[in-house]
Amino acid sequence: MKILALCHYYPPEVNAPASRLSEHARIWREAGHDVTVVTCAPNHPAGHLYRGYRNRLWQEETIDGVRVIRLWTFLAANEGFLPRSANYLSYLFSLLFWIWRLPRADVVMSTSPQFFCGIAGWFLQRRQRPWVLEIRDLWPESIITVGAMKRGATIRALEQIEAFAYRKADLVVSVTEGFVPHIRARRPEGPIAVIKNGVDLSHFTRDPVAADAFRAQHGLTGKFVASYVGTHGMAHGLEVAIAAAERVRERTDIAFLMVGGGAERERIKTLRDAKDLTNIVMLDQLPKPAMPAVWGASDVALVILKRVETFKTVIPSKMFEAMALGVPMILGVEGEAKTLMEDGGAGIAITPEDDAELAAAILRLADDRALGRQIGASAQAFVREQFDREKLARAYLAEFEALRR
């Protein structure tokens, strides 16, 4: 089977969509399928090209046996509405410019958000079918939720395009059960599948030597390390981590580790420095091969979002990475993510944006290491049983095959 996948992000970028698609694509390729990915020159989150890349009209490389086509886009940091919109739209325009050159496929899959990458699949559907639309977040609803835009004519137009895409796709794949009612309300007929996020268990394995080296490098040896790893964005409410660190600042045996980039990173860093919180180590985004060492050096994973209704339907992908390494989590997310964590006995739930509860949960685990080990073992067994990326990628293949019958 020939699979053509459209995604705005791809390795060496390390965010959730890049990881999800690249791990699926590798497994599809290993299963004997011909896989091509159409993406951009890597530049997320700062809007700067990664070393060794140029922002050309068309360039190609092969990663893990997967053909990767990179198209020109307007480069922009992951902040600012207008520059990001230009970045997203330019991907769609570049794809339309080169549509004649893209390879024929037995199935086309596009992932949203970003939104214009998702809708790009419809233009290819007009040349070849079937078209699978993957929904990783409810957009534009999510940008309203975080306050990036207010309801108005632009949002109404985007919602019309969203509903159009849901109706026209041959299959819609959601990454959570919680998204399905929203999708079904706009897609009265046609199949909807749920294929959740997971983790590549061949990559996320413990390496005590690498973990100890990471701790030593960043002054974390002998500390109880509470880690936030991922995007520092408007949705995450990272002020709660700063406030919790302030509450426990007298505990010199506890350190906070914050790894990643995003629109809010500099503001959070400024807030840390203004409060003179020396118990918070902040690092820029690290490459994917470093993630097992980061998680291996962590005693607890902080998985937090703002307390809004929309986020009850999301499942942060960092949950699966932490569980794979046997790291207990403190979860400040309600809804489906909380249910999943409780099903796996994988952590401690707190009220989102409640710094007192967050600090108390960190102290509890710091003072009861046996509890952390017990939770971590339960989490690891659960993710291996339910969220092995290879099993999920093969479930995706089964959906592709069903469409071709």
Least confident range of 69-78, 323-332, 338-347: 69-78
Name the pTM for this structure: 0.89
Q: What percent of the chain has pLDDT over 90?
A: 80
Token pair of 224, please? 């109880």
| Phi, psi values for residue 204, rounded to 5° | -90, 80
pLDDT at site 223: 97
How does the average pLDDT of the chain come out, rounded? Answer: 93
* Tens digits of residue pLDDT in 54-71: 999 999 999 999 999 999
* Tens digits of residue pLDDT in 350-366: 999 999 999 999 999 99
Least confident range of 134-143, 157-166, 308-317: 134-143
Least confident range of 133-142, 241-250, 300-309: 133-142
Once rounded to an integer, what is the mean pLDDT over residues 133-144? 79
Beta-sheet pairing, 66-71 with 58-63: antiparallel
pLDDT at site 146: 58
* Tens digits of residue pLDDT in 198-228: 999 988 999 999 999 999 999 999 999 999 9
d(Cα 72, Cα 84) in Å, to the nearest integer?
A: 14
Token pair of 66, please? 């997967």
Q: 208-386 maps to which CATH number?
A: 3.40.50.2000
The residue extents of the domains of the chain are 2-198+388-404, 208-386
DSSP 160-173: HHHHHHHHH-SEEE
Q: Do 2-198+388-404 and 208-386 share a fold?
A: yes
d(Cα 22, Cα 5) in Å, to the nearest integer?
A: 10
Q: How confident is the model at residue 147 (pLDDT cuts 50, 70, 90)?
A: low
Q: What percent of the chain has pLDDT over 70?
A: 97
Domain 2-198+388-404: which CATH class? alpha beta
